[in-house]
């Protein structure tokens, strides 16, 4: 009986492992576009190149007169993180929208995450180079927060969603040890290896930027859940201390976790609509 139970548990663990690999792997172009079947404005998915690195960009263009929301995903993440926003009818009436896969997180990406906010900033500036600055709003989620915040050129707005902005409150999840340990590293899916490397280098990288966040001409809004343990709420509180009150706004979502981009979609959507007005 114990042998049978052991086999069943092993099969369950193996099944969960492969389900985890499949669920968290970057989606194919076809899967990405399936999220927009009911979208009024159809997305355009293009293959772009930056400094020899290929990546995907997804664009929703409603009107030349509208401002553009530019979504920057976290670690791990992809353009698919923002599909609910980019396919939303009301947001499409107020904005053009754009999202892109950072290097290392593209579908079947053979490249490695660059582990550098400076590189990510340069890439983001290349992504938005053809947009009108006064009509460009950066929306950075998690690790994408400091990337958006590091762009100092004057834009319409910068929106941060649970930004990982300060090294001293940067937690290190225990699961990163599966990547650290050589005996278990082979079990870690490729995209999670890239995320682990980025996570391990993030604290050191942040120290080059965190004392200078306030030196920007952009208005900054941070939306953060006070129950977030992956990227603690303290990150946004520290940002609030760095900025003047007329330049920075902190919007707290009580009891919200780091999954606020999905779990608190309606609230965040409401905030984005307020900015458009």
| Residues of the chain scoring pLDDT < 50 | none
Q: Examine residue 8 and state whether it is found in any structural domain, yes or no.
A: no
108-117 tens-digit pLDDT: 888 999 999 9
Q: Examine residue 22 and state whether it is found in any structural domain, yes or no.
A: no
Q: Examine residue 10 and state whether it is found in any structural domain, yes or no.
A: no
pLDDT of residue 18: 61
Q: Examine residue 148 and state whether it is found in any structural domain, yes or no.
A: yes
Q: Examine residue 21 and state whether it is found in any structural domain, yes or no.
A: no
CATH number at residue 85: 3.40.50.1820
Q: Examine residue 23 and state whether it is found in any structural domain, yes or no.
A: no
Q: Give the DSSP letter string of the chain.
A: -HHHHHHHHHHHHHHHHHHHHHHHSPPPHHHHHHTTTT-SSPPEEEEEEETTEEEEEEEE---TTS-EEEEE--SS--GGGGHHHHT-HHHHHH-EEEEEPPTT-STT--SPP---HHHHHHHHHHHTTTS-GGGEEEEEETTHHHHHHT--S--SEEEEES----GGG----GGGHHHHSHHHHTTS-HHHHHHHHHHHHHHHHHTTTGGGTT--SS-EEEEEETT-TTTTTHHHHHHHHHS-TTTEEEEEETT--TTHHHHTHHHHHHHHHHHH-
pLDDT of residue 215: 95
168-215 tens-digit pLDDT: 999 888 778 878 888 888 788 888 788 888 988 999 999 999 999 999
pLDDT of residue 17: 55
Q: How many domains does the chain have?
A: 1
pLDDT of residue 68: 97
Q: Examine residue 14 and state whether it is found in any structural domain, yes or no.
A: no
Owning domain of residue 52 = 29-276
175-186 tens-digit pLDDT: 788 788 888 887
Q: Examine residue 18 and state whether it is found in any structural domain, yes or no.
A: no
Q: What is the pTM of this model?
A: 0.92
């Amino acid at each position: 009986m114990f042998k049978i139970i052991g086999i069943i548990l092993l099969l369950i663990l193996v099944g969960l492992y492969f389900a985890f690999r499949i669920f968290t792997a970057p989606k194919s172009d076809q899967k990405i576009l399936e999220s927009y079947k009911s979208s009024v404005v159809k997305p355009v998915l293009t293959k772009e190149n930056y400094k020899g690195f290929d990546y995907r960009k997804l664009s929703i263009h409603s009107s030349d007169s509208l401002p553009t929301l530019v979504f920057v995903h976290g670690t791990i993440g992809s353009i698919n993180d923002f599909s609910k926003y980019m396919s939303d009818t009301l947001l499409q009436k107020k904005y053009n929208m754009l999202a892109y896969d950072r290097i290392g997180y593209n579908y079947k990406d053979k490249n490695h995450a660059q582990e550098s906010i400076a590189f990510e900033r340069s890439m983001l500036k290349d992504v938005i180079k053809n947009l009108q600055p006064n009509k460009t709003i950066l929306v950075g989620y998690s690790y994408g927060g400091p990337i958006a915040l590091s762009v100092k050129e004057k834009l319409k707005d910068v929106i941060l969603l649970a930004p990982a902005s300060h090294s001293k409150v940067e937690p290190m999840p225990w699961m990163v040890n599966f990547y650290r340990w050589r005996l278990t590293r082979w079990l870690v899916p490729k995209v999670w290896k890239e995320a682990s490397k980025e996570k391990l280098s993030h604290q050191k990288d942040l120290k080059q930027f965190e004392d200078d966040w306030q030196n920007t001409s952009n208005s900054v809004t941070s939306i953060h859940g006070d129950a977030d343990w992956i990227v603690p709420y303290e990150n946004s509180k520290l940002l609030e201390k760095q900025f003047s009150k007329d330049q920075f706004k902190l919007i707290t979502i009580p009891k919200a976790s780091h999954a606020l981009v999905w779990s608190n979609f309606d609230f965040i959507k409401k905030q984005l609509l307020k900015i458009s007005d």
